Amino acid sequence: MKIGVLVNEGPYTHEASDSAYNFTKAALEKGHEIYRVFFYHDGVNNSTRLTEPPRDDRNIVNRWSELSKQYSLDLVVCIAAAQRRGIMDENEAKRQGKDANNLAEGFRISGLGQLVEAGIQSDRLVTFGD
Amino acid sequence: MNDEMDMEEEGGVVKQFMFVNRKAPYGTIYALEGLEVVLISAAFEQDVSMAFIDDGVYELKKGQDTKSLGQKNFSPTYRALEGYDIEKLYVERESMEARGLTEEDLLVDVVVLDRAEMAAKMDEQDVLISF
């Protein structure tokens, strides 16, 4: 089955991101196709590489990056939601005149159309959040 | 830019999309950012509808005044949805009545459904996105 995943909550505060990760990983291991994982609302905070949890805790951001690398997973962060919350890739930081960028490996920033497209192209769109 | 390119690639697939609004308009950002997705979806020529349940019915209340909140009043946008061909707005009767609201209190024309009818409407959809 072709599945789209929507992550609406940030890491650590809310379990939605963990659940989305566990679901995505399990689906991939079962041989399903994940069309795209889309990060919206505070979900965009899953994509900052400046995340540094205590050593005995899981690194939610790195975990997504690794999964992306292993399965060529498309991790898309909503640009409007990201700009509100200070998530930038190199190009966007340059364009906005910021002195730094923080988008983690394996993620890309794009428009909300990518979420609608995931709904159109996937057999199921599964939302994680409140 | 990306959105425009995506549109051309869809090749005529029309799905039933329902955006389910469950939150009050200003306590959290869900209503505002949810509305942004709805507006974008209009460009994809899908069969789009919106459902308003729980505190989501407050999003449609007339006479919103956000001056003292220091936030933008985005409620006029709901009136503009018609211009995007998004005309199917469903409000759950139980949610509305529990909050002491009637259709007269809402700033757009809606179809009021009871809970069971709303469930049936949701069941018809291909894609449900809830905020």
Mean pLDDT of chain B: 92
Which residues, in sequence order, are CB contacts of A46 under 8 Å at separation 6+? A7, A10, A11, A17, A39, A60, A61, A64
- Which member of B29, B43, B126 has the closest CB to residue A41? B29
Picking from B2, B15, B46, the nearest residue to A114 by CB comes out as B2
Nearest-neighbour CA in chain A from B66: distance (Å): 20
Min Cα distance A125 → chain B (Å) is 7
**How confident is the model over B70-103, as pLDDT tens digits?**
999 999 999 999 999 999 999 999 999 999 999 9
Residues A103/A108/A111/A116 CA torsion (nearest 10 deg): -130
Cβ-based contacts of B10 with chain A (< 8 Å):
117, 120
Give the pLDDT of residue A23: 98
Q: Where are the domains of chain B?
A: 14-62+77-130
| pLDDT over threshold 70, residue B21 | yes
Count CB pairs under 8 A between chains A and B. Answer: 65
Which residue in this structure is represented by tokens 């700033």? B107
Q: With a cut of 70, say whether residue B10 has pLDDT above it.
A: no
Q: Which domain holds residue A115?
A: 2-128
Rounded to two decimals, the ipTM of the complex is: 0.92
pLDDT of B96 reads 98
Q: B13: pLDDT confidence band, cut at 50, 70 and 90?
A: confident
Nearest-CB residue to A115 (from B9, B29, B37): B37
Q: In angstroms, rounded to a whole number, what is the distance separating the alpha carbons of residues B79 and B59?
A: 12
For chain A, what is the domain count?
1
Q: Which amino acid is at A49?
A: R
Q: Strand A107-110 vs strand A124-128: parallel, antiparallel, or unpaired?
A: unpaired
Residue A4: closest C-alpha in chain B: B127
pLDDT in tens, A58-94: 999 999 999 999 999 999 999 999 999 999 999 999 9
Which of B4, B6, B130 is the best substitution to test chain A (most A C-beta atoms within 10 A)?
B6
Q: How many angstroms separate the CA of residue B75 from the nearest CA in chain A?
A: 19
Nearest by CB to B40, from A113, A121, A130: name it: A113
Query: Would the pLDDT of B46 be above 70?
Result: yes
Contact A113 B43 (CB under 8 A): yes
- Closest residue in A to B3 (Cα–Cα): A113
Query: Does the pLDDT at position B4 exceed 70?
Result: no
Residue B8 has pLDDT above 70, yes or no: no
Nearest Cα residue in chain A from B43: A113
pLDDT the model gives residue B1 = 43
For the CA atoms of A56, A62, A63, A67, the dihedral, rounded to the nearest 10 degrees, stands at -160
pLDDT per position as a tens digit, A2-43 = 999 999 999 999 999 999 999 999 999 999 999 999 999 999
Residues of chain B contacting A110 with CB distance shorter than 8 Å: 2
* Positions of A marked catalytic: 78
Confidence of residue B12 (pLDDT cuts 50, 70, 90): confident
Owner of token pair 């993620």: A107
- pLDDT at position B11 over 60: yes
What CATH number corresponds to the domain at position A40?
Answer: 3.40.1260.10
Is pLDDT above 50 for B5? no
φ/ψ of residue A105, rounded to 5:
-60, 140
d(CA A97, CA A60): 28
Q: Does domain B14-62+77-130 have CATH number 2.30.130.10?
A: no
